[in-house]
Amino acid sequence: MSLLQTSGFNNLIKAKNGYTLYNKYDKYIGRSIELYGEFSEKEVALFKQVCKKNATVVEIGANIGTHTQAFSKMVGESGRVYAFEPQRIVFQTLCANLALNSILNVEAFQVALGDEEGFVLLPDIVYDKEGNFGGIEFDKFSTGRKIPKVKLDDFLEVDRVDFIKIDVEGMEKEVIDGSVSIIKRFKPILYVENDRREKSASLIETIKNLDYNIFLHNPTLFNPDNFAKNSENIFGKIVSKNLLCIHKDSKIKVDGFQAI
């Protein structure tokens, strides 16, 4: 249900997981929120199976917070979500969505994560023209604004981590390399984007070396049973390509997934 249409690039809607400010020119996340009131809900359906009350979730590449809002509900008041999003404008929208929904159990950080301390560079992005703003590849730029880059191991001081979602446009291995201590200590479930063919083998090897079983999860972007009850499929057969990774010591079992 549309609540506010502006002359700028952001609109406001009442979506499945709460009030959601979104960029109307974003051809994936924004368009999905506008037409369906949700984004990649088939991923969320999986998260609900493994993210329980009181859990601690780390979301790396939170974008505007469509999944962050869902995670917040899953873990409840006594749970915690740590959301990382390096793009300044997108991060501001993420924070707006947390504020609009009076969310108290999420902490958001405008930093990039990697395997070393430093900076990434991001030139000014044009947000009022059609684009895929969740698909910005930070390793492609040699000029731009400096955005701090940190290792999760050095940045996050917590007593537990149950689930880590990593969606960082080809930099997934570097994020994992900077999170090895946390991963070895807590053995969380990992949900990792794997849509760069040239980097896939190295990413899978890195995760396997941490004693994880790995399963493919390639859900379609379109959900026929979407919140808006919209039967028009604008995404066709497009899928998101991810790895569901469960530590070999974990008692969690999953059925219906193809193991690597």
Q: Which residue has the tokens 């949700």?
A: 38
Confidence of residue 169 (pLDDT cuts 50, 70, 90): confident
For 2-6, 33-37, 161-165, which range has the lowest pLDDT when averaged over its residues? 2-6
- Rounded (10°) angle between helices 41-50 and 66-75: 20
pLDDT in tens, 133-146: 888 888 788 899 99
Burial class (CB in 10 A: 0-12, 13-18, 19+), 110: middle
What would the DSSP string read from start to end of 234-247? SSTT-B--EEEEEE
pLDDT in tens, 75-85: 999 999 999 99
- Rounded (10°) angle between helices 88-100 and 66-75: 40
Phi/psi at 70 (nearest 5 deg)?
-65, -45
Q: Which of 3.90.1300.10, 1.20.1290.10, 3.30.420.40, 3.40.50.150 is the CATH number of 40-259?
A: 3.40.50.150
What would the DSSP string read from start to end of 194-218? ---HHHHHHHHHHHHTTTEEEEEE-
**CA–CA separation, 59 vs 258, rounded Å?**
24
| Single pTM value for the model | 0.96
pLDDT in tens, 89-117: 999 999 999 999 999 999 999 999 999 99
